[in-house]
Structure 1
Amino acid sequence: MYLGKSRLGHWDRNDYRGTFFDSRTSLGEKLRHRFWIGTLLLMIAVGISMFLLIGYLAALSTPFFKLEQVEIKGNQKVSQTELLQKGGLTQSVNLLSLNLKEVKAKMESLPWVKEVRLRRELPNRLQVTVIEHQPFLLTTVGEHLYFLDREGVLFKKLDLKGDTSLPLLTGLGPKDGIIEGRLRPQLLAEVKTLLDLLSRGKDPFYPHKLSEIHYDPDCGYTLYTIDRGIRISLGKEDFPIKVKRLEKIWAALETRPDITALKGISLQYGRKIIVHGLHPGTAAKKTG
């Protein structure tokens, strides 16, 4: 077989075959070399993993990481004892073995607790930050009263020792009121807007003057005061304007000697304000 010429002269068949077999042998050696390197690296990785595992298991049993201090902050309605017991936090617990996700879920099952944030501080300290529900209304579900927070969450049934100074939201039907433990979003937005307006001014109505906020899907909102149960009808819209008018007429009425005869104020008739229970001369007023 003639292979042609090169600058070094003729190539013969033996030289070609030798070069071919040398290349194949070199490739096999490279593959074996890579195999042994890969095996060695794998063994090193397994060894390191085993070392870390043994070290971790040893750390779980050492008293060095034993839980000794739990710092709880942010709680006002729920006690530290309740949180510790609910979370299963005892001094026999190893901080590394503590399942924070499980502890968080247990603590958040307490009615007043909205959210819990946990952080390990090695070697033996756990920090607990509690965010509680902030009630702004009471409402009825069946025969019971419940606290309602500003997100519309129905979070706790009122017990005998509960705070009853908050206004009561009534008139909620099964379809337009509480749905799956929450106040309907549109209704929540209306109530929050109304209460925010009523909480302003020099002598705000909310929360200390109101005993009840009654909702009617057709007539809108009616307020009842704590003092003498005076009815204040607002209707369904234009709350900013109506609340300003209410503030003006209320300030004027409080100066009257016959204020104790006041039964109600109606503001749902446009610019016309109707005062109920006083002398006929003050029964109807117009305001800008």
Structure 2
Amino acid sequence: MSTLTMGKQSRLNLSGKGAGRNKTRKRPKSGTTLLTGGRSPRRLAGAGKFMVRLVMASLVLSLVAVLGVGLLFGYRYITAHPYFDLKVIRVAGNDRLSREDILDISKVGLGLNCLNMNVGEVKNRLDANPWIDSVTVRRELPNRLLITVREKVPAFWTRQGDGLYFADARGRVIAPMHPGEQASLPVLSVAEDLSDAPDVLSGVLKKMADRETPFTQAQAAWIKLTSAHELEIYLDGAGNGQGLTVKLSMDRWEVQLERLKVVWRDLLRRNEFDDAAIIAASGDKIWIKKRSAHAAG
């Protein structure tokens, strides 16, 4: 009995069919099944990150929208609140234009919301007026507006076509003269193509203002800058109302003016001033044309 049992065991071990079959056959790993038949972990992780980013972007956009609506509501609230309504409007620097003119031009008034007002547009409206040289507009919260203007100062009347216009000290046209407007200004006439005319005009007017001339701007009826490059000033009240013309070269008018002042004083000292019809400079000399038509030097 013992021998048979060992023989059977030997045959079984020698054939090895069951044992060999069990050793060679391997079960597939779970990782192999995921790689061949399903999605990889890397792809799943990327999809998860994309979803997170999408959710975050949606939250940010929602927050921005809420903030935008809140800011809009807040802006509308404060620009309609009576706390910011204008209660004080100060206008300074105006002379020719009245306070009412300034407010009408700028289109501002008491009760206008200080925050809802466009200061730049107010300034542009005032700058467009021909009489305003420069302007500053400043608001002081909560309810004050300050407007400071510098007006153009008329120095002459000048003709353009059939109209009479105001002009500044450099001969630049300011605005047309309207019926009812009054001013004691000399009439200006300037020949064409005189590039130095503005400097000569402003220089002569400054001399008059500083009392460095024997006559004033108010005494001048007209001032001409001629094509011969001469400066002519007609004083209608001089010579007992008979008038006097002063002529200077535009190139040397300052030097010639100093010499003219000496001759002017000499004529007054000798009581001959009223006899002079023209006092003119020629080079370095001053000559006088008397009313009797003969010249004297």
Task: Please give the TM-score of this superposition, normalised by the length of structure 1.
Answer: 0.77
**In structure 2, how many angstroms separate the alpha carbons of the residues matched to 1:257 and 1:266?**
19
Give the counterpart letter for 1:257 in structure 2. N
Partner of 2:279: 265
1:252 paired residue among 233, 243, 266: 266
CA contact (8 A) 2:170 2:201 kept: no
Give, in angstroms, the shift of residue 135 of structure 1. Answer: 2.0
In structure 2, C-alpha distance between the alignment counterparts of 1:254 and 1:152, rounded to whole Å: 32
2 CA distance for matches of 1:68 and 1:201?
A: 45
Q: Report the 3-state secondary structure (helix = DSSP H, G, I; strand = E; otherwise coil) of the residue aligned with 1:67.
A: coil
Alignment pair present for 1:98 and 2:86:
no
Aligned residues: 261
Q: Kindly tell me: are residues 243 and 258 of structure 1, through their superposed partners in 2, closer, same or farther at Cα, counting changes over 3 Å?
A: closer
- AA matched with 2:267: L
Any stretches of 5+ residues in structure 2 without a counterpart?
A: 1-30
| Code of the aligned partner of 1:276 | K
Could you say what the CA RMSD is over the residues aligned between the two structures, in angstroms? 3.1
Structure whose residues are more often helix by fraction: 2
More deviation in 141-150 or 20-29?
20-29
Question: How many angstroms does 1:63 deviate by?
Answer: 1.6
The answer on whether the counterparts of 1:199 and 1:205 sit within 8 Å (CA) in structure 2 is no
Partner of 1:275: 288
Larger radius of gyration, structure 1 or 2?
Answer: 2
Contact 2:85 2:111 in 1 (8 A): yes
DSSP 3-state at the match of 2:142: coil
Going from structure 1 to structure 2, the CA distance change for 1:161 and 1:251 (only over 3 Å counts) comes to farther
**Cα deviation, residue 95, structure 1:** 2.1
Is 2:246 aligned against 1:232?
Answer: yes
Contact 1:108–1:116, Cα closer than 8 Å, also in 2: yes
1:34-49 to structure 2, matched below 5 A, reads: 34-49=53-68
Letter of the aligned partner of 2:237 in structure 1? D
Q: 1:29 to 1:153 in 2, by over 3 A?
A: farther
Whichever residue aligns with residue 249 of structure 2, its letter is G
Deviation of the 1:119 alpha carbon:
1.7
- Separation in 2 of the partners of 1:115 and 1:262? 44
- Contact 2:214/2:264 (<8 A) preserved: no
SS in 2 for 1:130: strand
CA pair 78-234 structure 1, distance change in 2 beyond 3 A: same
Supply the distance in 2 between the matched residues of 1:154 and 1:92 (Cα, whole angstroms). 37
Q: Distance in 2 between matches of 1:53 and 1:90?
A: 25
TM score, norm. by length of structure 2: 0.75
After superposition, give the CA deviation of every residue in 1:41-84 in whole Å (9 maximum; x if it has no partner). Answer: 22211211110101111223222222221111111111111222
Q: 1:231 to 1:66 in 2, by over 3 A?
A: same
Cα distance in 2 between the residues matched to 1:121 and 1:78: 24
CA contact (8 A) 1:66 1:95 kept: yes
CA shift in 2, pair 1:97/1:153, >3 Å: farther
- Sequence identity percentage: 25
